[in-house]
Homo-oligomer: A and B are copies of this chain.
């Protein structure tokens, strides 16, 4: 590794002159600057960030803590943030919590050790106390989920409203037995979504068929598929369904496809998120589209601004930004059957038998 010392030795200058030349200090002659840059280029000099940080320079690394980047929801976030940070000369450290407090703590500890400039975090249900403590001294903002143990700064979506709208849509179509499959209510967003469902159902004077995740179980595709099949095995299955997470939606769509359920005849479905493929699922999935890309960008630029301006002693007022989703109406929702719903053919042990389109 080439250092300023090497360059100095090569030109018979002092390290400080080299440092200043590289920093384009006004006191250095144009000629010296030129020669320094030339040698630096030749030797492939790259300034050592570690040394710079020792001298008090702030890191240009932003930590991103998400449950799982392979979830397209979060990969969109990672992409948007990486782009935003890159265009502001910052880098993104990718950390996965796997929705485990222990992992989350390890990741945050690593970020603290790296003295990162800031952190964007989608927290787990109950972050470890040390996570709060470690983040206390680091500018950070919560994304999507919001827990009270961390900073009050938050960028998220109106979870309650989003599910409320989805449910109202089904009520408006005439459905009276509407089910909801969501994730564990440990997680605040999931709780808000469930509340949105309940409120919409209550406002319509209906009885909800709710299939939420068992406490502690993650919001997975398997859970979506299993719960759907359980709902269908009941005496009076629902005629409509609202899903409360992308993964659950995925599982439900796969199960409906595998089991040959005809949508919207046998069941109306409103999905969560608008992932690639949702548009071409069966008759097209009616779903809630969420502005994840824009949300992540807004969150990123806010954090950068916050980092630059919080040094002032001004009391930082809690900042929250709520974005809303949009109901995208496609073919998966329609009026309920006029006659008592004819039981759809749903097997608990599904046989692979794709529905041929013609």
A79 proximity list for chain B (CB < 8 A): 68-70, 96
CB 8 Å contact bits of A90-103 with B (1 = contact, 0 = none)? 01111110100001
Q: Chain A interface mostly helix, strand, loop or mixed?
A: mixed
* A283 pairs with B61, CB closer than 8 A: no
Contact of A82 among B61, B96, B263 (CB under 8 A): B96
Return chain B residues, CB-CB under 8 Å to A280.
Answer: 253-254, 257, 277, 280-282, 354
Nearest Cβ on chain B to A6's Cβ, whole angstroms: 14
Known A82-B96, A277-B277, A354-B330; judge A134-B46 contact (CB<8 A): yes
Q: Which of A51-74 contact B (CB under 8 A)?
A: 51, 53-54, 60-61, 64, 68-70, 72
Q: A317 near B: Cβ within 8 Å? A: no
* Measured CA separation A53–B109 after assembly (Å): 17
Instruction: Contacts A284-B354, A357-B262 given; indicate if A276 touches B275 (C-beta within 8 A).
Output: yes
Say whether A278 faces chain B, with CB atoms less than 8 Å apart: yes
Q: Which residue of B lies closest to A74 (CB)?
A: B75
Nearest CB of B to A356, in Å: 5
B96:A93 contact, CB within 8 angstroms: no
Answer whether A254 and B279 are a contact pair too, CB < 8 Å, given A82-B95, A331-B354: yes
Residue A220 CB within 8 A of the other chain: no
B113 adjacent to A47 (CB under 8 Å): yes
CA distance A16 to B114 in the complex (A): 22
| A298 part of interface (Cβ distance < 8 Å) | no
Structural contact, A282 and B357, CB atoms closer than 8 A: yes
Min CB–CB distance A253 → chain B (angstroms): 6
A113-B49 contact given A54-B54, A356-B331, CB 8 Å threshold: yes
Whole-angstrom distance between the alpha carbons of A253 and B103 in the complex?
38
Residues of B within 8 A of A254 (CB): 279-280
Complexed CA–CA distance, A278 and B202 (Å): 38
Whether the Cβ atoms of A91 and B93 lie closer than 8 Å is yes
Say how far A357's CB is from chain B's closest CB, in angstroms.
5
Q: Does A288 contact B (CB under 8 A)?
A: no
- CB-defined contacts of A275 to chain B, threshold 8 Å: 276-277
Instruction: State the A residues within 8 Å of B (CB).
Output: 1, 44, 46-51, 53-54, 60-61, 64, 68-70, 72, 75-76, 78-80, 82-83, 86, 91-96, 98, 103, 106-107, 109-110, 112-115, 130, 133-134, 137, 250, 253-254, 257, 262-263, 275-284, 330-331, 354-358
